Chain A
Amino acid sequence: EVHLLESGGGLVQPGGSLRLSCAVSGFTISSSAMTWVRQAPGKGLDWVSSIATPGYINYTDSVKGRFTVSRDNSKNTLYLQMNSLRPEDTAIYFCAKDMQASYWGQGTLVTVSS
């Protein structure tokens, strides 16, 4: 059974950093593309980034140069390193399986506020 579990969210001041994790079971991330999507409070879904199996990574313009996606195949875990955080980055962050977002985790809340 496919299962994704995000963690690492919390309250951070503007300009700060956080690293989100997405622990996966039921498939191996080395053989699957992965996607990050976020949802600001009370708002719709926004695509953040996708990493392809060969390692190609795409980011939405608003996070380029600040966010970095990586994966640890030995831990079957996907990461989202978020630096220079801004109040507008406040959202629930979801990881999802593959480019088509076939399975989703429950999300982790990131709040950027002073």
Chain B
Amino acid sequence: DVVMTQSPLSLAVTLGQPASISCRSSQSLVSSDGNTYLNWFQQRPGQSPRRLIYKVSNRDSGVPDRFSGSGSGTDFTLKISRVEAEDVGVFYCMQVTHWPRTFGQGTKVEIK
């Protein structure tokens, strides 16, 4: 199985400051079709997850542009340019290239 390792596992950020979450995979996530299927999800407290980013860097509709995804191969990053109060929650990466699909452990973001 592809192991997804996120760091840090928790992050306390001052409002308006940037935040960055790393996600590393144990194998390359480049698919045979040339795409890299790495997605990011946010789960706010008491809510179901919602997808923020798909295929490394594509923002979903309605996702603020302060969220951005980057990376390639086995090394990926989610950045929040200026953290807002509504960004509190747990962020997960998920690879959809290999079977079985696997998630990172999650990174809890809170406001300092």
Contacts and interface: CB of A to CB of B under 8 A. Distances in A.
Interface of A: 35, 37, 44-47, 50, 58-61, 94, 99-107
Contact of A44 (B37, B100, B106): B106
A45 B106 contact: yes
B3 to A, nearest CB: 13
Given A47-B100, A60-B100, A100-B54, A94 B48 contact: yes
In the A-B complex, list the 5 residue pairs whose CB atoms are closest, starting with the nearest.
A47-B101, A44-B106, A45-B103, A104-B48, A60-B100
B54 A46 contact: no
A100 B41 contact: no
Nearest to B104: A44
Given A44-B92, A44-B106, A45-B41, A101 B51 contact: yes
Contacts of B96: 99-101
B71 interface: no
Interface of B: 37, 39, 41, 43, 48-51, 54-55, 60, 90, 92, 94, 96, 99-106
Contacts of A46: 103
Contacts of B54: 100, 102
B101 to A, nearest CB: 4
B92 A104 contact: no
A101 B96 CA distance: 9
Nearest to A106: B48
23 contacts: A35-B101, A37-B49, A44-B90, A44-B92, A44-B104, A45-B41, A45-B49, A47-B94, A47-B102, A58-B99, A59-B100, A99-B37, A99-B101, A100-B37, A100-B39, A100-B54, A100-B55, A101-B41, A102-B54, A102-B60, A103-B51, A106-B48, A107-B48
Contacts of B51: 100-104
Nearest to B1: A61
A37 B49 CA distance: 10
B36 to A, nearest CB: 12
Contact of A61 (B39, B94, B100): B100
Nearest to A102: B51
